[in-house]
Amino acid sequence: MSEPVLRKATAAGHWDGVAVLRYKQEGEAPFQDVTRQVLFEDAGGAQWRYFEIAAGGHTTLERHVHTHAVMVLRGHGRCLVGDRIYELGEHDLVCVPPLTWHQFRAHERGALGFLCLVNRERDRPQLPTIEQMAQLRADPVLAAFIRA
Amino acid sequence: MSEPVLRKATAAGHWDGVAVLRYKQEGEAPFQDVTRQVLFEDAGGAQWRYFEIAAGGHTTLERHVHTHAVMVLRGHGRCLVGDRIYELGEHDLVCVPPLTWHQFRAHERGALGFLCLVNRERDRPQLPTIEQMAQLRADPVLAAFIRA
């Protein structure tokens, strides 16, 4: 472990010595108002990240073989996992299974910050094809939720 | 992943479908007023746990080869890591390096709850020998902190 023993939380969603990074490279995939921080490069073999979505923002709609183990650290929002929408509040736990479409959205009036554990070695996310997006949007509840 | 997609936080330090377990078997090692919960058996290859120490309680003073990646989820307290004492508040991050003595204590007037990521396969904790404890207690700051 290369991290110092203690890194203080300096403000909501900020820590001493932890850089606030782009969520993804611009133009790589659609998203809005999301930051990424790596809290531990190696947390018991996993990479431990913190993502924060500003009010009204959203992550990319995507899927991949690796799983996500998520805990909401602050704020409120919703997520699509598979074919359902879930309401999210502080400290709620979310599992995203392999190859399952998912997207996180912050509340319109406040940020959503969440911890997300992943394998250090993992596959690249897949974006939906036009056909897959049409399938998802065939459900009016999902159609109303999805941002792309 | 065998967990359901969503497990709601039902109260501070409690989740739907997450059992509150003993920290350790009685008599195995000295500790006081600590509970353990496994939030994810496999979080990106790591085991993701939540520990809560009641007011005035403490974990075992121990060390092991595997590392701890820790985030305080709620409350306040202190920890000994190596030969120093650190003050802990909400969302602070703590790294416990390999083979480093460590002990967590809650504040006298409130609980300390923290997330702790470890390797799923890991070595057993070592307790200090009488000689090692004497060495630690040679420092009056550590002597005043340690509970055993």
Three-state SS for B124? coil
Q: How far is CA B28 from CA A87, B25, B39, B127, B136, in A?
A: 41, 6, 23, 10, 21
ipTM of the predicted assembly exceeds 0.85: yes
- Per residue in B39-69, pLDDT (tens digit) is 999 999 999 999 999 999 999 999 999 999 9
Q: How far is B122 from chain A (nearest CA, A)?
A: 9
Q: Is there a contact between A44 and B47 if contact means CB atoms under 8 Å apart?
A: yes
pTM: 0.96
User: Distance of alpha carbon B50 from its chain centroid, rounded?
Assistant: 8
Q: Comparing B28 with A128, which gets the higher pLDDT?
A: A128
Q: Comparing B31 with A115, which gets the higher pLDDT?
A: A115
Contact residues for A61 (Cβ-Cβ < 8 A; gap 6+) = A30, A80, A101, A102, A103, A127, A128, A136, A146, A147, A148
**d(Cα B148, Cα B144) in Å, to the nearest integer?**
11
**d(Cα A64, Cα A77) in Å, to the nearest integer?**
22
**d(Cα A140, Cα A116) in Å, to the nearest integer?**
28
Contact residues for A56 (Cβ-Cβ < 8 A; gap 6+) = A32, A33, A106, A108
Q: Output the six-digit token pair for A37.
A: 């921080």
**d(Cα A117, Cα B19) in Å, to the nearest integer?**
21
Nearest to A45 among B18, B45, B88 (CB): B45
DSSP secondary structure letter of residue B125: P
Which chain A residues contact residue B42 at CB under 8 A? 67, 69
Taking phi first (over 0 means left), then psi (-120 to 50 degrees means alpha), and beta for anything else, what does residue B41 get? alpha
Nearest to B67 among A1, A39, A69 (CB): A1
Q: What is the average pLDDT value for chain B, to the nearest integer?
A: 95
pLDDT tens for chain A, residues 1 to 148:
578 999 999 999 999 999 999 888 767 788 889 999 999 999 999 999 999 999 999 999 999 999 999 999 999 999 999 999 999 999 999 999 999 999 999 999 999 999 999 999 999 999 999 999 999 999 999 999 999 8
